[in-house]
Structure 1
Amino acid sequence: MTDMTHDHDIVLRPTAAQTTAALNPPPGRNGGDLVVETLQGLGATTVFGLPGQHALGMFDALRRSSLTYVGLRVENNTGFAADAYGRITGEVAPLLLSTGPGALTSLAALQEAAAGSSPVLAIGSQVPVAGLGGGRHGYLHELRDQQASFRDVVKSVHTVRTQSQIPSAIAAAWESALTAPHGPVWVEIPQDVLLAETSLPVVTAVDATPDEVVPRPELTAVAADLLVRAERPAIIAGGGVVRSDASGKLLALAERLNAPVVTTFGGKGAFPWEHPLSLQSWLEDRHTTDFLEDADVLLVVGSGLGELSSNYHTFEPRGRVIQIEADLGKLESNHPALGIHADARLALSALLETLLETGAERPDPAAPERVRGALAAVRERIDGQGLTLEQDVLAAVRAALPDGSPSFWDMTILAYWAWSAFDARRPNTMHSAQGAGGLGYGFPAALGAAAADPTRPVLAVSGDGGAMYSIAELATARQYNLDVTWLIVDDGGYGILREYMADAFGEATGTELARPDFVALAESFGVPGVRTSPEALRGDLAKALAQPGPSVVVLPAVLRMFAPTHLS
């Protein structure tokens, strides 16, 4: 038989050194070593986690690895920390969890990672292989179908039943997490597979390069033509612009088209706040909605135009919509459009190249004036609501926070203000839980960001209700000396729900809370704390941010939300 070798065939032959190493693996390794070796081979440097009985094989292997381990006190908070690490770095954030209660406690965090398109790789243990299927052996933490709990939350589920499956399963999950749109994934490995001694070779470099979501050229050609011929183009920039590092491309395109830009709450920082074409982020305002509805061509980049981005689904565009979206399920899900399934950066690059090749541009000296008029109308409406305290507090936070420092906001009234009114100043520096909307996000997420980049201080913002979800992580902040300042706005309850219920029913129920002395509580963990006032907030917050290590600033204040307008 003739031996035929084709040019496209890939032949991978081990070197002599690789062969020697493979035939002589070091002793004392188990299935957990295969997990951490695979993570290292994929490029991971930091893992988050919380140990449990079935997962001990993975945690034992960590001490034989070069991976940095950051352990939090509650699995949900651990997931929030990994989420933030993924957002800040754009890299996969490994998250090691145990079976049953440990795994399930992470679900709310993984839901937020899914909503925020954060690449979290959750690796959970399982009961021994013999117990899979549920109920037969009565193992501790046993569930009938653990992965079913995750299937509706994460992008993909990957199961392991033998040690030889570990590297390929983790690599496939890694690739899934990093394929646009980014998102969390779930891998589960039985306890006995993790604990059993292995004679398999040490896992070396592993390839899990995600496919790029490239726009179809005929669609970008049509989009470019529509935008150039438009009389009143406008752009909505969502979180996909930030995640794909496409802010520079967005700026170049907007200036070439003279197209006003509004950023969604997830897209904060994607466009310069004070730019003459910036409509900022006032999406919960009818003046902005009217402006966008009046556009004859509206370019939506990296946003599905969900509830908040569409002013609670009251937005009804009258012109032609072009939607660039990496998540195929969100393409044209809310409005008919010229749908372009693509990564935001690649699609914006293609649009720019098309315009540059043709020399097409849209001079429109009136665009900045129309933007100024819309923003003036928004400010006049807000100023008429008598909310000076709230604006002063937000301005104090902005003044105290260094431009390059990231901030993480819990579901609290000040965060609702920040979505619309806070100048993020830099891309990928403002993050909140507005995707899934769960409480307790701000502080543990900030810890994950500080672990990702210890060169700059990080700000967390919570209300007193949300803060109680995360108090245990003061111990984590102290243990790892993470450079996070936690601003707690203490209004004695669930302020958002109090206001919602009072408006809807005339009286609030279940919203008033007993709470601790947050300053004394922080100091009991060895974390310095200070009680401030609206007048002293800027100075106290700046001082705390300038000091290395964790700190807590407590602001006793009852803030109110501004009234959004949904209807003309």
Structure 2
Amino acid sequence: MNSTFERPEPADTSRAPRNGGDLVVESLVGLGAQAVFGIPGQHALGLFDALSRSGLRYVGLRVENNAGFAADGYARTTGTVAPLFLSTGPGALTSLAALQEAAAASAPVLAVSSQIPSAGLGGRRRGYLHELVDQQASFRDVVKSVHIARTASQIPSALAAAWESALTAPYGPVWVEIPQDVLLAPTTVPPVTGLRAEPRPLPARPELVAGAAALLAGAERPVILAGGGVVRAGADGELLRLAELLDAPVACTFGAKGAFPWEHPLSLQSWLEDRHTTDLLADADVLLVVGSGLGELSSNYHTLRPGGRVIQIEADLGKLESNHPALGIHADARLALDALADAVADSLSGRPRRDGRGAAVAAELLERVRERIDGQGLDLERQVLAAVRDALPDDSPAFFDMTILGYWAWSAWDARRPGAMHSAQGAGGLGYGYPAALGAAAARPGRPVLAVSGDGGAMYSIAELATARQHGLDVTWLIVDDGGYGILREYMTDTFGAATGTELARPDFVRLAEAFGVPAVETTPDTLRADLAAALATPGPGVVVLPALLRMFAPTHLD
């Protein structure tokens, strides 16, 4: 996927002398960057001054963590690197939760941070403002790779290496650190030209493809579980081809929304917290897992016990066979599925092997799920989710915070295309939905974007209403106001009989949004569809507030 921005003009190098900040900006432009997210800070001013001499679009947020979430949303929307500028110490550290989410979701965010002047490094404590002698240590356990530039001449190569790392499967956030004095000092390094970063391909080894193809071609009850790696690799076409060759039902993890057509006869949809789905995956004689580590959510809280052979295609070596023994294939999902489909087609002489059994299995599973949900008295919740889905145009993405409606969307939301639904389920932090949606809107100007939060999560991001207004970003924010942390209220009540610390004082969200100059309306379940559709159709930011107490469907991993 490519952004709709025009490619920025090269930096203006006519003034002299240039400095390290100019080298950063010139390098990013040369690598293909089109926008930068961040917040200025004292040690990072050289970065931001250089932005004024470039064609890069700057989207400034109000909190560093939200700037990181916005970069994440931009990266997921464009499929390419999103630069994030941060200052030293408190500014950098405030971005950690956002970078953890980017790491969990394999979003290619490139964080460029300043550091205290070089004289303060090397273990000495000189008392600089924001001083962290070993700042990079705070990020090594979060990001994919750390890159350091201690001189101006090292800056282009460090950024190119970071860019390549971010876009080499598995994608992920990376960290580049440059001292303040290096950013500010005049440099005689020539203007950056010809900088290249070529992500390394990760093909599947042929003997593993052959072994997997033999297992799948000989299986009686093959099932496929598609993970987020299918979406990131752009492998939805290859997945569809293989599933139809095998007549194999396909379930999508919560991070793989849109990887397989929701209404396809072979679709098991995403009801991974339902025991019927867990049992079906466990009953497969060959279970093909693509782009998923079979973690807590994808395995119904580790209650999945595969009874047959497991084939796992995974680009992240650390996740390969980390939860279940498998024929592990360390590869990019698209390259592996393409090779596997060819091999299976050869084994089956190019013809699907069965005549509709897979579709019958999928239909029976979905009927069981519907019967179970029908018996739980959840008409309000289903009405609200349906109203939101009906109001949102098919080509518009939705970004869900960690809220009850978001939990419903994990299982029940029809994304209608790959990458059209995102949430913070990777790391599970609050406050993701709205700033990430702002990043997506910056990536695709003129297309409405939906963000969904609860009132608790909304307070993490409320300052970004100013960002939305300042940049005119087309994000409609649905805030479901239930007076507290609704999902935690349910968890505590179910576990302890009562909830503690979950009830919240909160503002009048309509009046607060209007104080930022953002149009807002309070709605009801009956008027939600019309109010949300109207807000989405109106250019610029908007807020829709739904006072409602929603409930989750009963979990089945405890049955």
Could you say which residue in structure 1 is the equivalent of 2:495?
Answer: 504
Deviations along 1:211-241, one digit per CA (max 9) or x if unpaired, are: 0111001111111111111101000000000
Q: Secondary structure at the match of 2:190?
A: coil
Matched, 1:107 2:96: yes
How far does the alpha carbon of each residue in 1:374-414 deviate from its partner, in whole angstroms, 9 at most, with x for none? 11111111111111100100000000000110000000000
Instruction: Tell me which amino acid in the other structure corresponds to 2:149.
Output: V
**Structure 2 residue 157 is matched with structure 1 residue 168:** yes
Matches within 5 A, 1:11-410: 26-134=15-123, 136-358=125-347, 359-360=349-350, 361-410=352-401
Deviation (angstroms), 1:567: 4.7
Aligned with residue 536 of structure 1, among 500, 506, 527: 527
Runs of 4+ in 1 over 4 A off after TM superposition: none
Task: State whether residues 125 and 133 of structure 2, in contact with CA within 8 Å, keep that contact through their aligned partners in structure 1.
Answer: no
CA–CA separation in structure 2 for the residues paired with 1:320 and 1:517? 54
Deviation at 1:144, TM superposition (A): 2.8
Contact 1:250–1:271 under 8 Å retained in 2 = yes
Choose which of 440, 455, 473 in structure 2 pairs with 1:482.
473
- Tell me, in whole angstroms, the C-alpha distance in 1 between the residues paired with 2:498 and 2:135: 41
Q: Distance in 1 between matches of 2:15 and 2:61?
A: 31
Matching residue of 1:13: none
Letter in 2 for 1:425: R
Aligned to 1:445: 436
Q: Highest Rg: 1 or 2? A: 1
CA distance in 1, matches of 2:139, 2:329: 29
> Which string of whole-angstrom CA distances, capped at 9 and with x for unpartnered residues, describes residues 61-84 of structure 1?
001111111100000000000001
Could you give the per-residue CA deviations for residues 111-135 of structure 1, whole angstroms, max 9, x where no partner exists? 0000000000000000000001355
Q: Deviations over 1:26-78 (max 9, x none)?
A: 51311100000000010111111100000000100001111111100000000
Gaps in structure 1 of 5+ consecutive residues? 1-20
Distance in 1 (alpha carbons) for counterparts of 2:375 and 2:201: 48
For 1:186 and 1:116, locate their aligned partners in 2 and report how far apart those are by CA, in whole Å.
16
TM-superposed deviation, 1:564: 1.3
Which one of the candidate residues 451, 457, 461 is aligned to 2:452? 461
Aligned to 2:3: none
Structure-2 separation of matches of 1:104 and 1:368: 49
What amino acid is aligned across from residue 534 of structure 1 in structure 2? P
Contact 1:47 1:68 in 2 (8 A): yes
Equivalent-residue separation in structure 2 for 1:498 and 1:139 (angstroms): 44
Which position in structure 2 is the counterpart of 1:557? 548
| 1:521 CA drift (Å) | 0.4
Report SS of the residue matched to 2:414.
Answer: coil
Matched, 1:472 2:472: no
Q: Distance in 1 between matches of 2:549 and 2:558?
A: 28
Distance 2:358 2:52 in 1: 59
Equivalence for 1:436: 427
Structure 1 residue 366: Cα displacement: 2.0
* Number of the residue aligned with 2:413: 422
TM-score norm. by structure 1 comes to: 0.95
Match of 1:413 in 2: 404
One-letter amino acid of the structure 1 residue matched with residue 325 of structure 2: P
Counterpart of 2:6 in structure 1 is: none
Secondary structure in 1 aligned to 2:54? Answer: coil
The match for 2:4 is none
For 2:131 and 2:412, locate their aligned partners in 1 and report how far apart those are by CA, in whole Å. Answer: 47
Given that residues 272 and 298 in structure 2 are in contact (C-alpha distance below 8 angstroms), is that contact kept between their aligned partners in structure 1? yes
Paired with 1:432 and 1:223, the residues of 2 have a C-alpha distance of 32
Other structure's SS at 2:18 match: coil
- What letter is aligned with 2:134? D
For normalisation by structure 2, the TM-score amounts to 0.96
Contact 1:161 1:190 in 2 (8 A): yes
Which amino acid letter does the alignment assign opposite residue 478 of structure 2?
A: L
Alpha carbons 2:481, 2:549 under 8 Å: kept: yes
Q: Shift of residue 566 of structure 1?
A: 1.2
Q: Distance in 1 between matches of 2:171 and 2:55?
A: 26
CA separation in 1, counterparts of 2:520 and 2:455?
Answer: 15
Counterpart CA distance in 1 for 2:355 and 2:487 is: 42
- What amino acid does structure 2 have at the position aligned with 1:338? L
C-alpha distance in 2 between matches for 1:362 and 1:236 = 20
CA distance in 1, matches of 2:341, 2:243: 10
Cα distance between partner residues in 1 of 2:88 and 2:144: 20
For 1:49 and 1:427, locate their aligned partners in 2 and report how far apart those are by CA, in whole Å: 27
Write out per-residue CA displacement over residues 79-111 of structure 1, whole angstroms, 9 at most, x where no aligned residue. 000001111111000000000000000000000
Shift of 1:527: 0.3
Q: Percent sequence identity over matched residues?
A: 77
SS of equivalent residue, structure 1 residue 468: helix
1: CA distance, partners of 2:125 / 2:517:
47
The Cα of 1:25 is off from its aligned counterpart by: 7.4
SS at match of 2:551: coil
Higher mean displacement: 32-41 or 135-144: 135-144
C-alpha separation between the residues in 2 aligned to 1:364 and 1:304?
31
List runs of 5+ in structure 2 lacking aligned partners. Answer: 1-9
> Residue 25 of structure 1 contacts residue 201 of structure 1 at CA under 8 Å; is this kept in 2?
no
Q: How far apart are the structure 1 equivalents of 2:492 and 2:340?
A: 47
User: How many residues end up aligned between the 2 structures?
Assistant: 546
